[in-house]
Chains A and B, each alone.
Chain A
Amino acid sequence: MQNVLSIIFCLSLFYLAVTSRVKTYVTVLQLQGIILTVLLLYPLIDHFSVPALILPATLFIVKVYLIPKYIKRILLDLDIKRIIEPTIQQFSFLLLVISTMTVIFVATNILSKSTEIETIPFASGFSAVAVGMFIIIFRKKLIIHVAGFLVLENGIFLFGSTIASKLPMMIELGSLLDIFVVVFLMGIALNKISSTLSGFEATALRRLKD
């Protein structure tokens, strides 16, 4: 089951690489949130316990409802243009994502011969980290940077949940805390940025250069 969910996760990453609409980023983030929630709920089918339900529920509420709502409100308030203008062509971006994913999968396969890890979720999570980094590097809008950071977080969560099956509580809480806090403050920062800065591109952040 983990494999199937990771495959869908990777497909969502491809879709993220091809799209040129800003709202699609929000939808894909919601989809990834749903995938991660299902991933957490899956072991509960065998041994069900109510306290273990708290984490998936919180995850669902935060990732699928709160964060997209917040981002959509920022999009509306700041009247951000609906199409993102990428720094490199979409085609080359997708090609870069494909080649990085191939490298990561092959490397994971080689590594799994020495350590026992589940290759597909691990490699999917790590490629999500890579795709998140590429989005941050290659896109110009600031809100897309925040979305890229969230994709990175989702990737960390995915491959963390495969590793940390023996030490669940702390690591998961740490991940969740990260998202909560980061998006909150970034949102507030973004709101203030809009009212002082006229453009909304990362290229406008050039004031502080030497």
Chain B
Amino acid sequence: MDLNTLVQGIVALLAILILSPLFAGVINKQKAFFTGRIGAPVMQPYYELKRLLRKETINANSSSFISDISPAINLIAVIVAAAMLPVGLAKPLISFEGDIILFAYVLGLARFFQILAAMDIGSSFEGMGASREATFAVFAEPIFFFTIGSIAFADNLTSIYDIYHSIKLNNVTYIVFIVVCSISVLILAVTECSRMPIDDPNTHLELTMIHEVMILDNSGVDLFLYQYSSYVKLCIYAIVEASLFYPFAVQNSYVAVIIFLVVIAALATTLAVVETVTARFKLKYVPQYLLFATAIGVLNLLIYTFTK
């Protein structure tokens, strides 16, 4: 790896880390706009995070060392995943053959520790959240592999950077294929980041939360780490989705960056609109909703193997 790509990779990673709360802030501001409020300022997530750093960390009496190590492991895993994403034209810091599997399962590791910590606290609230999160993760996992994997299957590539770079938008069927993939990935993003219609990030009642409830009893630095990692995760999935549309044929890097930012902004608007318009699903409908996204992925795979 020469210096240029290294610098590009580090800049990309830093961009994700620094700008992810801004992305969440933009979504919140747009939600407020759609519901007729002025809403919190766009930089509000930064203020929240700064406030949390000042607070004291308290853990439950019945918790063990898991509650101590889990927030840190969560954030580190998410940062490692962020380092594998191709932002713009930059080659990611961690990129090798087969890294698509590492990507999926590093995020899975983060989720695993979050679930463990939630059960470790010993309260039934968190246990309920943990069990729901685990169930949805089971159904959401095939979506990723069938959609991104079907693109990978087409050209036998297994590195995320190579996969995205192999997307050439030159024939109509392929364009439809990519559009359909992106619907699937949007559903995946919504599930993994616990947005509507799977989970409600605003309320804190036991009927409506899945992710929020797992971190209900955390405070101070732990809560800071959890919140920050959820912002970064949202940004990661937004980039996974946006990169499907990004025309890698554009070679000029400045124009590329601008197009990239425009697509991300459009994605933020989409998420805001979806959150404003839909209500949360009944929990028993979530598995079939996720299976629907998987079905789209399977259809992609079937179609792609026949339109070489």
CB within 8 A of A97: which of B173, B289, B295, B296? Answer: B295
- Chain B residues numbered 246-265 whose CB sits less than 8 Å from any CB in chain A: none
CB within 8 A of B291: which of A94, A101, A105? Answer: A94
A102 touches B172 (CB 8 A): no
A142 to B174, CA, bound (A): 40
Instruction: Tell whether A7 pairs with B176 under 8 Å between CB atoms, given A98-B298, A101-B302, A105-B302.
Output: yes
Nearest-Cβ distance from residue A164 to partner chain B, whole angstroms: 21
Instruction: Tell whether A3 pairs with B173 under 8 Å between CB atoms, given A15-B292, A18-B292.
Output: yes
Contact residues in B for A97 (Cβ distance below 8 Å): 295
A90 to B285, CA, bound (A): 9
A14 touches B303 (CB 8 A): no
**CB closest residue in chain B, given A14:** B295
Q: A4-B172, A10-B299, A101-B299 provided; 12 other pairs, C-beta below 8 A?
A: A4-B173, A4-B176, A7-B176, A8-B176, A11-B180, A11-B299, A18-B289, A94-B291, A94-B292, A98-B298, A102-B298, A120-B303
Contact residues in B for A18 (Cβ distance below 8 Å): 288-289, 291-292
Interface pairs (21), CB distance under 8 Å: A1-B172, A3-B303, A3-B307, A7-B177, A7-B299, A7-B303, A10-B299, A14-B292, A14-B295, A14-B299, A15-B292, A90-B288, A91-B288, A98-B291, A101-B302, A102-B298, A102-B302, A109-B305, A120-B303, A120-B306, A120-B307
Nearest-Cβ distance from residue A21 to partner chain B, whole angstroms: 12
Contact residues in B for A11 (Cβ distance below 8 Å): 180, 296, 299
A102 to B294, CA, bound (A): 13
Which residues of B approach A to under 8 Å, CB–CB? 172-173, 176-177, 180, 285, 287-289, 291-292, 294-296, 298-299, 302-303, 305-307
- Chain A residues numbered 90-123 whose CB sits less than 8 Å from any CB in chain B: 90-91, 94-95, 97-98, 101-102, 105-106, 109, 119-120, 123
Q: Which 10 A-B pairs have the closest CB atoms?
A: A105-B302, A90-B288, A14-B295, A91-B288, A4-B176, A3-B173, A119-B306, A18-B292, A98-B295, A94-B291
Contact residues in A for B289 (Cβ distance below 8 Å): 18
A14 to B299, CA, bound (A): 10
**CB closest residue in chain A, given B300:** A7
Which residue of A1, A7, A8, A98 has the most chain B CB atoms within 10 A of its CB atom? Answer: A7
Contact residues in A for B306 (Cβ distance below 8 Å): 105, 109, 119-120
Nearest-Cβ distance from residue B177 to partner chain A, whole angstroms: 8
Contact residues in A for B298 (Cβ distance below 8 Å): 98, 101-102
**CB closest residue in chain A, given B294:** A98
A95 to B139, CA, bound (A): 12
Instruction: Tell whether A95 pairs with B291 under 8 Å between CB atoms, given A7-B303, A120-B306, A120-B307.
Output: yes
A168 to B306, CA, bound (A): 26
- Chain A residues numbered 1-33 whose CB sits less than 8 Å from any CB in chain B: 1, 3-4, 7-8, 10-11, 14-15, 17-18
Contact residues in A for B173 (Cβ distance below 8 Å): 3-4, 7
- Chain A residues numbered 107-166 whose CB sits less than 8 Å from any CB in chain B: 109, 119-120, 123
A15 to B296, CA, bound (A): 10
A134 to B291, CA, bound (A): 18
A105 to B306, CA, bound (A): 9
Contact residues in B for A94 (Cβ distance below 8 Å): 288, 291-292, 295
Nearest-Cβ distance from residue B184 to partner chain A, whole angstroms: 11
A109 to B288, CA, bound (A): 28
A3 to B174, CA, bound (A): 10
- Chain A residues numbered 51-98 whose CB sits less than 8 Å from any CB in chain B: 90-91, 94-95, 97-98
Nearest-Cβ distance from residue A108 to partner chain B, whole angstroms: 8
